[in-house]
Structure 1
Amino acid sequence: MIIVTATITGKPGKRDELISKSQDVIKSTRLEQGNISYELLASTEDDDVLLMFEKWKNKEALDTHMQTKHFKSFGSAIEDLVAKELEITIYSAEKA
């Protein structure tokens, strides 16, 4: 299993708009083959920070996701709402 965290730092006051624009990608991604879960979490410490927490069956499923229309559209839709580039970290859930 692959776990992905994507930290989204929004411009001040853009949190609700970011959450709204995330709904389509969340709904579509949850239907993808190989997706186990796809959640948007809000920071309790910083109103401008959101975290996309994803679980994938394997790296191939994640790679396919990153080529989908809804994923690419989401990136374009939030481009003017984010304060900096997303911080993405990919983990293997296999025992280390």
Structure 2
Amino acid sequence: MLHVIAKSIAKKDKIEETKNALEALIEPTRKENGCIQYDLLQDHSNPALFFFTEIWESNAHLDAHLATDHFINWKGKSDDLLDSPMEVSLLKKV
């Protein structure tokens, strides 16, 4: 299994728009083959800070996710919404 943490920092004037765009990823992603967990979290003290915590059956399933229309649509919006590029960590359980 592959664990993923994806960090996004919204522009201060785009927090709600970013949240809505990220939330739009949840339902279709959870239906994808190989998706075990896909949760969106927002920081209490810094509402511009979002994290996805994800678990995928394999790297191949994550790669397939990155090629979906809904993810590509998000990437097209992300430059306008985010303060900096999304930071992604690929992890394994120890």
Is TM more than 0.5 here?
yes
Q: Which residue of 2 aligns with 1:45?
A: 45
Q: Please tell me whether the aligned partners of residues 29 and 38 of structure 1 are also in contact (alpha carbons under 8 angstroms).
A: yes
CA offset digits 1:15-62 (Å, max 9, x no partner): 211111122211110000000011110012212101011111111111
Greater share of helix? 2
Q: Please tell me whether the aligned partners of residues 23 and 40 of structure 2 are also in contact (alpha carbons under 8 angstroms).
A: no
Corresponding letter in the other structure for 1:77: K
CA offset digits 1:54-75 (Å, max 9, x no partner): 1111111111111111111111
Q: Please tell me whether the aligned partners of residues 2 and 58 of structure 1 are also in contact (alpha carbons under 8 angstroms).
A: yes
TM-score by length of 1: 0.90
Q: Which residue of 2 aligns with 1:74?
A: 74
User: How many angstroms apart in 2 are the aligned matches of 1:4 and 1:84?
Assistant: 18
Query: What is the DSSP-based 3-state SS (H/G/I as helix, E as strand, rest coil) of the residue aligned with 1:44?
Result: coil
Alpha-carbon shift at residue 3 of structure 1 (Å)? 0.7
TM-score by length of 2: 0.92
1:5 aligns with 2:5: yes
Query: What is the DSSP-based 3-state SS (H/G/I as helix, E as strand, rest coil) of the residue aligned with 1:14?
Result: helix
Q: Please tell me whether the aligned partners of residues 13 and 48 of structure 1 are also in contact (alpha carbons under 8 angstroms).
A: no
After TM superposition, what 4+ stretches of structure 1 lie above 4 angstroms from structure 2? none
Alpha-carbon shift at residue 78 of structure 1 (Å)? 2.6
Q: Which residue of 2 aligns with 1:57?
A: 57
User: How many angstroms apart in 2 are the aligned matches of 1:27 and 1:55?
Assistant: 15
The alignment covers a number of residue pairs equal to 94
Query: What is the DSSP-based 3-state SS (H/G/I as helix, E as strand, rest coil) of the residue aligned with 1:70?
Result: helix
Alignment RMSD (CA, Å)? 1.1
